[in-house]
Amino acid sequence: MGSDNKPSGKVVRVSTTSRTYDVYVAPGILDSCGELISKAAGGEHALVVSETNVAPLYLERVASSLVSAGYEVSSHIFPAGEASKRAGTWAACLEAAAKAGLTRDDVIVALGGGVTGDIAGFAGASYMRGCAVAQIPTSLLAMVDSSVGGKTAIDLAAGKNLAGAFWQPRVVIADPRCLSTIGHDLFTDSCGEVIKHGVLADPNLFESLETKPLNAPGYDEAMLTDIIARNVEIKRNVVDADERERGLRQTLNLGHTIGHAVEAASDFTLGHGTCVALGLCAIARAAAAMGELAKQDSERVERVVAAHGLPTDTDLDHETVVRLAHSDKKRHGDGVNVVLPRAIGSVEVRRMSMGEFAELVDAGCGTATCGTTAHLA
């Protein structure tokens, strides 16, 4: 990617059953997005979907690049925040696509974090029964996780991500320089998914996070680009093997079963990455108590989460955790599939009854040995 005046960086190819596409990770690549989207998706019209925090920062640059690539550009902006990830926002996005005159040969461009990627991706999956989607993630969480793999969803009153579709993008364009405009707290929240990927599949990544927290001062562009690309590779390896979460892809839910319950109990005031980190610590402690994970590895997980300034435990009562997990989309029948860490870099999906899961919650929640506790009213 160093030729033709393109910014230097990394390209990760994703090859799923339904589509093959490239993920570009490079500083400054945002201004080349139009050319990359045109090459990958084609079409004449582009609808840029963004939210009220991100649009003022990047919409003009993205639209300019799209126009230069020959697109007729429209935009749709919705209020920032998880509260917007509902059916009304999705429907408004569809109406905006129709008003802009998009056909199934045109493209919807998701410009923003995970909520934007979900809304725009689900709209792309459903507009005219499917049109092209390009993902331009602007948060670390979206870059390393949600923009890759084609999972799109909205929240329902009963729970998070309960309606959606698998719809792979045509291209993902991640510019690490966009991270300079997000606050430290949001960046820290996103570190939860990066830590999860280390525990899931890469001891070297985990060790690098132990050596120096990702949110510590001093990460230059090249280092950050490499970290983002490595996370994309980890997710790519799983998604390529199991696009629709029937087996291996469930391992990406490490930390999510308890994490989602805490996130829902907080009415989504706690960030997703924060809750994943908390859930990761809880499941590691429970796995150690069950004899499935060495205690020293459980302690390493807690220490690296604490070093990033993320909570390692919750004071939420255990009955609430179990009840909310029971309503989560990851539940199967009367049980739940739980991802257990077996070592740093190795996990196992274990089918549990809700009674067994309740015992796991008792062992893992309220038992932290270091770090902070996320307090819920």
Residues belonging to the active site? 129, 151, 193, 235, 245, 249, 253, 256, 260, 272
258: Cα within 13 Å, side-chain hemisphere: 36
Q: Where are the alpha helices (DSSP H) in the chain?
A: 33-41, 55-68, 87-99, 114-126, 140-141, 184-201, 203-211, 221-241, 256-265, 272-289, 295-307, 318-326, 354-364
Q: Which residues lie across from 152 on neighbouring strands? A: 165
Mapped onto helix, strand or coil, the DSSP state of residue 371 is coil
Burial (CB < 10 A; 0-12, 13-18, 19+), residue 247, is: exposed
Helix count (H) and strand count (E) of the chain?
Answer: 13, 14
| 247 DSSP 8-state letter | S
Extract the tokens encoding 327.
């309503």
| Cα–Cα distance for residue pair 287/180, rounded to 1 Å | 37
Extract the tokens encoding 207.
């060790």
| Cα–Cα distance for residue pair 275/271, rounded to 1 Å | 6
| Cα–Cα distance for residue pair 197/81, rounded to 1 Å | 25
Mapped onto helix, strand or coil, the DSSP state of residue 370 is coil
